[in-house]
Structure formats: C-alpha cells, structure tokens
Amino acid sequence: MYPITYVTDCSDGNARARLSTRIGALFGQSPTIVAADGPDPESFAALTLLDCLQSATTLGEAGHPTITLLNIAPRDGVWPNGVPFCFFTYGRHLVASTFNARALSLVRRELGVDRVYVTDIREVVEAAGAWADFSATEIDKIVGTQFRSLWYLPLLAKWVADGHAVPATETAVPHTLDDDPTVSVVDNFGNCKLACRPEDLGFTLGKSLPVTRRNPDGTTDEVDVTCYSHLTAVPSGAAGLIVGSSGTGFVELVVRGGSAAGRFGLQAGDRPLRRTAVEYAA
C-alpha cells in the first residue's frame, strides 16, 4: 500500500467524504486530504506539492513510494469539461494531477520536472477495458461527470501505480513567468511562506528589505524588515525575514510571537516583496 495525499480545491465535507471513501475502496486505505481552499489555491498547491515530494525523498534511506494527487481546476472555460489530467514520477513517487502550469510551476523550477504525461479521459477509460470492467454507461459517466477529480483521477493514479499501460502524451510543462514572490501559504502561526529563494530577494543577514503592508483602511506602505538566520534570532515581537522550512530553503515573513499575516494584512496570493534580477531557466 502507498501513503496517499490528495491536495484539492474540492474540499467541502461532502466532497472529502466521497474522495476518502472512493480512494479507500480503490487502494485499501484512505488518503490524507489537504484543502486548497484559500484565496490562491494554485500557489498553495504548487508549494504543497513541492514540499510533499521533498519530504518523501530527503530521508537518509530508501523509504517507501508515495502517491500525491492534486486537483486544482481552472474554471476558465478554455477546456471542454475542464483541464485534462496528467501524471509523472519523481524518483519512486507518483503524482497524478490536473495539467495546471501554475500548480506545477515549483516542481518544474526546483525539481526539474519539465515534462508530464497528459491523458484523455475517454481514451484511458476505454483502454482500461483490458484490465477493468466498465459498462458503456459507466464509461460515459466517468467521461462526462463534473466531479472528474472523484471519478477519474483516483483511477488514473491506481492504474499507473499498478503498472498498466495507460495511454498518455508526453507534454512539456509550460514555463510560467516569475513575478514578484507570492505568499503561497499562511501557516497556522501567521507566518507567510514565499515561493522564492533568498537570492531572489537579495537576502543578506542583517540587511533590511522593504515589505508592503496593507493597512486596515486599504492603504499600503512599506516597512523595512530585517533578514535573520532563523526564527529564534528575531527579537520578540519584531518582524523578520528568515529562511524557512518549505521549498528549497524558501523565505518566510514572520513575527516572533505573533502573526505576520495579521500585522502586514497579507493573505495567500499577495506579493509583498520585489524580486531582484535573478532569472530562472525557461
């Protein structure tokens, strides 16, 4: 059995119950379901997916294979019945995901996952007749359903994990523009995790960088915040920029003993700092 994590923007109670039960029936164990329910679910998903793969591979030993499912479906009307699903492996670990360039941007940039295998639902489910038993009506339901992340994505992950010949097209992950660093996650302490490395910001210990603060009246101003080595080096009650625990040593905006998100009026999707001239490979 594989440890399974499911990051999804379909995360209400009803959806979580159905997802847990369906995956449990397929794999013999229920997943850990992580809600991507904030104001910027794509940025949250991108950092969470990167952290999941990093957590599964930096062990000091072989460890066990894992499966991570990711469902962040842009509702932009570009794709018939939604964006397609894809899969890829990183070492021994399988990811099955919506083909969402922004949600895949950090594994592309940080782990070099620049190609994935994109699937067509009808093609896959009809090919699965070689190992599964669906009626024509059931195939039409899986292909046409609105809740494809329930009816199709777990099947895709199971069939790939089981080694079946799932038809798919190898496809490049589109490069996304590296704008000013985004607050990807606000953790339960109010720390703001930024999707950037220290060098992106010109981070230097003891140096101060301007951080945009949103005031209660809607105005903004800039506050100089000092760079520290870690949280305990930040004076009590003060704000600081540190190298945090997420990503490949990504920067966090913190307030020791308080909430950086609260003090600076920030939420996921905000861009409170400016990137320096660092460029990533396309």
Over residues 143-184, the pLDDT tens digits come to: 999 899 999 999 999 999 999 999 999 999 998 876 788 999
| Total tally of structural domains belonging to the chain | 2
Pick the last residue of a domain from 172, 191, 226.
172
Asked if residue 162 and residue 114 are part of one domain, the reply reads yes
Residues 160 and 198 in one domain: no
Report the pLDDT averaged over residues 36-53: 94
Query: ∠ at Cα 189 (186, 193), nearest 5°?
Result: 35
Claim to verify: residue 192 and residue 162 sit in the same structural domain: no
**CA-to-CA distance for 211 and 274, rounded, in angstroms?**
8
Residue 17 inside a domain? The answer is yes
Q: Is the pLDDT reported for residue 133 higher than 80? A: yes
Both 139 and 190 in one domain: the answer is no
Residue 99 domain flag: yes
Instruction: Give the 3-state secondary structure of residue 269.
Output: coil
Query: How confident is the prediction for the chain on average, in pLDDT?
Result: 92
Per-residue pLDDT tens over the stretch 61-90 = 888 999 999 999 765 555 555 789 999 999
Residues 168 and 190 in one domain: no
Specify whether 124 is located in the same domain as 42: yes
Instruction: State the residue range of the domain holding 168.
Output: 4-172
In a domain, 276, yes or no: no
Instruction: State phi, psi for 75 to the nearest 5 degrees.
Output: -105, 60
Domain assignment present for residue 246? The answer is yes
Cβ contact 4:29 at 8 Å: yes
CATH number assigned to the domain comprising residue 231:
2.40.30.90
pTM of the model: 0.93
In 203-249, at which residue ranges do the beta strands (DSSP E only) sit? Answer: 208-214, 220-227, 239-243
In this structure, are 38 and 163 located in the same domain?
yes
Is 117 inside any structural domain?
yes
Burial class (CB in 10 A: 0-12, 13-18, 19+), 71: buried
- Residue 138 shares a structural domain with residue 214: no
164 and 35 in a common domain: yes
Q: What is the pLDDT of residue 281?
A: 47
